[in-house]
Amino acid sequence: MFIDTLIERIKEKNNPTVVGLDPRVEYVPGFIRQAAYKEFGMNSKGAAHAILEFNKKIIDAVHDIVPAVKLQSAYYEMYGLEGIGTLMETIKYSKSRGMLVVMDAKRNDIGSTAEAYSSAYLGSAQIGEGNNEAAFDAHALTVNPYFGIDGIKPFIDDCRKYDKGIFILVKTSNKSSGQLQDLLTHNGKSIYEVVAGYVEEWGKPLVGKYGYSGVGAVVGATYPNQAKILRSILKHAYILVPGYGAQGGSARDAAHSFNKDGLGAIINASRSIMCAYQSETWKERFPEENFDEACRAEAIRMRDDILEAI
């Protein structure tokens, strides 16, 4: 099962973190960007090639110490077909280097359409009699719960069929997440608590050998108090935690999403790793040409920061 594999990789590497590859072309070091623009033009093709080169170097630099990458779909869709091509190549390359791939696309729709999204990201599309073709084929996908169970079930069915995972948005890391998620229902529970209850219920059939389900949750590191409450509701859900680093969440904040066994959460950082070579911490030590070493150094610093806090 995906969730068992994820846990085993986390244990092997002693690293409950995931590197987020959410690349704007401006993040790519100048020498790679200029070379790509020279070869392919200062257009989406050039940008997409620059980003692919950037991603591969980051993956090369962290694949032996980090269990998974998280790819934020928006940053690839923004560069059109060429950008989405880079997304697909990045998925393939991550797998070839032994990393698990979480597609962070937050898909959501009514049942029949959720089925199509699930075919796109987790399963495969039927094309002709008995002939199926996978499009993105990630190991896991983030999804949005606004539609209730019929917008989620097709993904759960494919998790079982194709051995994949999903992470359902519960409490997001952004400032205004409370506008909807913190609303108190008439029985005194907040929306994020109600959604957490659904996640726990929907995930029951997918609990693996370590007691965690293929149906996980997203809870931002920027809300430590809510994370404490959610950790107790989400008894079987693995928690994917955005918001550490550039968004302001600390290791202590993120620590609330772990259980006492040191499992139960995986912390994402995107910009702080991708752009480590530009940071105060690393820019003196690593010139732009060695940006990948800065990524590795920051990934190690982050791992140790999290391990110390839990």
Taking the complex as a whole, the smallest distance from the CB of residue 4 to a copy of itself amounts, in Å, to 28
Place of tokens 């696309």: 105
Nearest to 223 by CA among 243, 205, 238, 240: 243
Residue 241's DSSP bridge partners are 267
Instruction: Check if 228 is active-site.
Output: no
Q: Which is nearer to a copy of itself, 8 or 74 (CB)?
A: 74
Q: Which is nearer to a copy of itself, 179 or 225 (CB)?
A: 179
Q: Which is nearer to a copy of itself, 85 or 224 (CB)?
A: 85
DSSP codes, 18-56 = EEEE---GGGS-HHHHHHHHHHH-SSHHHHHHHHHHHHH
Taking the complex as a whole, the smallest distance from the CB of residue 117 to a copy of itself amounts, in Å, to 4
Q: Which is nearer to a copy of itself, 81 or 287 (CB)?
A: 81
**From 106, 153, 189, 283, active-site residue:** 106
Taking the complex as a whole, the smallest distance from the CB of residue 153 to a copy of itself amounts, in Å, to 9
Taking the complex as a whole, the smallest distance from the CB of residue 90 to a copy of itself amounts, in Å, to 13
- C-alpha 81/C-alpha 237 separation (Å) is 35
- C-alpha 32/C-alpha 184 separation (Å) is 49
**SS3 letters across 118-151:** HHHHCCCEECCCCCEECCCCCCEEEECHHHCHHH
Task: Cite the active site residues.
Answer: 106
